[in-house]
Amino acid sequence: MNDFDELTPLFGIVLFLSIPIVAIVMVFITSIKKKNRDTELRLALIQQGTDADTAKLLIEQQTEKHDKYSSLRWACILIGMGLGALVDALLGLAPKHNIYFWLIIAAGMGVGLLTSFIVEYKLTKKEQQEQREA
């Protein structure tokens, strides 16, 4: 037997454990950088003669952004992924340990994302038209 075959489970375990750790560290670093950037921007505004409370409000308004279609997007992606797996199960196109299984699921996710885009586009267009009429 090959020496690499014995290391494969160990490699899988190390990779499985390292991904969440790296994700947590990256979120922590990103939040620190965001706070530092906001502080520097607030200080620059105060040096220009802006009131401290007004500078704080300007920073908070600038960073807040809400995507009202994120739930729709995720729902369509997950439905597409489920439909891709269902199509694969019904047609028996690829075994589960084959790359084609994952490609079919990815194609389903792509169809779900495309569906989400079309629905978001139509809803946004409808909202813009209603705002013009009002």
Q: pLDDT tens digits, residue range 40-67?
A: 888 888 888 878 777 777 777 655 566 7
CA distance 16 to 26: 16
Split at pLDDT 50, 70, 90, the class of 116 is very high
For residues 76, 81, 86 and 91, what is the CA-based torsion angle, rounded to 10 degrees? 120
Whole-number pLDDT of residue 111 = 92
Domain regions of the chain by residue span: 1-65, 66-126
For residue 84, what are its two tokens? 């891709």
Alpha helices in the chain (DSSP H): 3-47, 52-63, 70-91, 99-133
**Could you report the per-residue pLDDT of 91-115, keeping only the tens digit for each?**
877 776 778 888 888 899 999 999 9
